[in-house]
Amino acid sequence: MLSSRPTKALWDFGTGYDLFISLLHLFHPEDFNVRASWAASILDRLSDEDRRSLAIGDEMMLMPIYFVHKLAQPKDSLTCINTIAATPASRRLEALSFGGSTSTAYKEVILSARPGHKWSAADKAVITEYFNDRGRETPLTYMELLHHTWAHREEFGAKYLQALRSYHENFFAEEEQRILPVLRQGLSHAQMRAGSLPLAAMLEELSAGVRYGDLQNYRSVYFAPSFWSTPYLHHQIISPDTLLMVFGARPENMPLIPGDIVPDSLLRGLKALSDPTRLRILRDIAQTPQTASQLSRSLRLRPPTVAHHLRELRLASVVQIIVDPKGERRYGTRFEGFETIQDLLIRFVHGE
């Protein structure tokens, strides 16, 4: 049912979002065009035990932006860590995992995990359906990891807190100071654009090409800037009528890795446009946006291959993603992305 009121833009702010989003990038550098050797050097600052605990959290798909959103200001890394520390160890995984859209049936199954007590076929079906609705697969190995971690959640809660403290001490405390002024500037820019653009257009601009078809179903949308998420967008349903959008706020000419000279957005763009298959995809979707399945059939490519190329094009911000109310995604060519890459190249060569 459509809301009878216009959707209202609200604002949130906190480096706590980047505490967790940065870990996603470090554990999956290939998915975000982060230099793998640099990511490994950051993780190598941690002990083997702490690194394993964070890796398990990553495999568990912990992305607790709902948890950060619900914190009191300042929503920085120490607030996150101190709040987790104040939560009983047996409840920490629950606090970090469940959000506003987590189904009751899924919660009941997950919380039923105990050592020596296996999930039934019906339990596994609930879990599989929950992840399928979010576009994720649940292979047997993941199901086993899920059960083991939740069955020993008190032990994991203690280890994960220690790992987060170590990560903060060895990397993120310093990184937080670097990104803080950028986040403030990104929030200010977004608030300024909100005064001159319709909500859907502002979201498309902030996300470098994502257009949602169901924003009118929400009364409120919170926007929170993130340095590390650029150019991706993380979203979370807070309540049936409230949505949270964590948008990329890192300037296009600013490298992700401290000390780098070449902006990674320039490298992503040149890499994406240097592949003939990706150029074919851009030409095919220039006039009529298509789904990944349609592209797979028309180009006679395997779906995983198409998904890989679309991800690279998305990283380069040269495709527009149109999400309909049912969650189906169609991809179109985003011509503004070409202009950005050209401008970045010219400015870099001129030393600007």
Q: Are residues 34 and 134 in the same domain?
A: yes
Q: What is the average pLDDT value for the chain, to the nearest integer?
A: 92
Nearest to 331 by CA among 339, 342, 323, 343: 323
Mean pLDDT of the 315-325 span:
86
User: What CATH number should be reported for the domain holding residue 286?
Assistant: 1.10.10.10
Alpha-helical segments (H) within 219-275: 264-273
Q: Does residue 242 belong to any structural domain of this protein?
A: no
Residues 35 and 173 in one domain: yes
| Closest by Cα among 343, 333, 209, 336 to 278 | 333
pTM: 0.88
The pLDDT assigned to 97 comes to: 95
Structural domain contains residue 61: yes
Q: Based on the domain organization, do 160 and 278 belong to the same domain? A: no
| Structural domain includes residue 145 | yes
For residue 222, being part of any structural domain is answered with: no
The encoded tokens of residue 113 equal 């995990």
Read off the pLDDT of each residue in 305-325 and give the average, rounded to a whole number. 89
CA dist 75 and 72 (Å) reads 6
Q: What is the pLDDT of residues 157-174, one digit of tens each?
A: 999 999 999 999 999 999
CA 188 to mean position of chain CA atoms: 21
Domain presence at residue 94: yes
Structural domain boundaries, residue 159: 16-177
Q: What is the pLDDT of residues 190-210, one digit of tens each?
A: 999 988 888 888 888 888 888
Per-residue pLDDT tens over the stretch 132-156 = 877 677 777 889 999 999 999 999 9
Over 80: is that where the pLDDT of 62 sits?
A: yes
Q: 63-75 burial, b if ≥16 CB within 10 A, otherwise e?
A: bbbbbbbebeeeb
For residues 169 and 268, membership in a common domain is answered with no
The SS3 of residue 28 is: coil
> pLDDT tens across 208-253, in order?
888 877 788 889 999 999 999 988 888 899 998 999 999 999 998 8
| Domain boundary, last residue among 156, 177, 198 | 177
Average pLDDT over residues 75-85: 98
Report the share of the chain in percent with pLDDT over 90. 69
Q: How confident is the model at residue 3 (pLDDT cuts 50, 70, 90)?
A: very low
Residue 150 lies in a domain: yes
Rounded CA-CA distance 20/157 in Å is 16
Examine the domain organization and report whether 276 and 133 are in the same domain: no
Q: Is residue 26 part of a domain?
A: yes
Confidence at residue 1, expressed as pLDDT on a 0 to 100 scale: 40
Of the three residues 113, 142, 177, the one that is the final residue of a domain is: 177
What angle do helix axes 173-194 and 16-27 make, rounded to 10 degrees?
110
Give the per-residue pLDDT at 4.
54
2 within domain boundaries: no
Closest CA to 260 of 33, 11, 10: 33
Joined tokens for residue 292:
């990944």
Count of structural domains, the chain: 2
The type of residue at 195 is G
Residue 53, CA atoms < 13 Å, CB-side half-sphere = 22
Burial (CB count within 10 angstroms: exposed 0-12, middle 13-18, buried 19+), residue 273 = middle
Whether 276 and 171 map to the same domain: the answer is: no
